Amino acid sequence: MLPAMGVDATAGPGSPVAFPGPAEYDLAMGLALEEARRALPHGDVPVGAVAMVGGRVVASRHNERELTGDPTAHAEILALGDAAAALGAWRLSGVTLVVTLEPCPMCAGALVAARVGAVVFGATDPKAGACGSLYNLCADPRLNHEVAVTAGVRADEAAALLTGFFRERRRGA
């Protein structure tokens, strides 16, 4: 089981860390879905992200663009910032980021820049996805780092949360 918070003290910058497997991905996606629902009260698109090191959660965030007025306040960017603060380093090679929606170009670029080890996502984003759908920044050999990508974890649940949000938004408009 994944603890709610905590840092693996043995996993410092450059330390080899075993990435979690499918069972942990499923549990972590459940946490990311819970985090995504926290965006609903303030009208943000319900996307949640959980950063893990060695199977332990070090950061968990949701979209806050509407809440803060910050166009960069995507769940992934916020979770990466919190993970870097928790780990005391910007190089996040031991981190697996689990996110409910395929990262956009900005977030995929941040994954590469932060040297994240792996990203796991739920729903694909055919209009803005940059981890395989529209672009594939995480696996571009021209860049200085590649991020391992696992797609489709609890995709139906993640897609249903987003579809419901946009359905309600259209009704209110």
pLDDT in tens, 35-90: 999 999 999 999 999 999 998 999 999 999 999 999 999 999 999 999 999 999 99
Report the C-alpha gap between 6 and 106 in whole angstroms.
27
User: Where do runs of H (alpha helix) occur along the chain?
Assistant: 22-37, 65-68, 75-87, 105-113, 155-172
pLDDT category, 20, cuts 50, 70, 90? low
Task: Look at residue 1 and tell me whether its pLDDT is greater than 90.
Answer: no
Q: What is the pTM of this model?
A: 0.88
Order of all β-strands in the sheet with 148-151 = 56-62, 48-53, 95-101, 118-123, 148-151
Provide the sign of the torsion angle of the four alpha carbons 52, 131, 92, 76, taken in this order: negative
Provide the 10 A C-beta neighbour count for residue 149: 19
Query: Which of 32, 101, 100, 41 is closest to 66 using CA atoms?
Result: 41
Catalytic residue chosen out of the listed positions 76, 102, 146, 157: 76
Q: Is 76 one of the catalytic residues?
A: yes
Tell me whether residue 100 is exposed, middle or buried, using C-beta atoms within 10 angstroms of its C-beta: 0 to 12, 13 to 18, 19 or more: buried
Residue-wise pLDDT tens digits, 112-166: 999 999 999 999 999 999 999 999 999 999 999 999 999 999 999 999 999 999 9
Looking at the DSSP bridge assignments, the partners of residue 96 are 52, 118
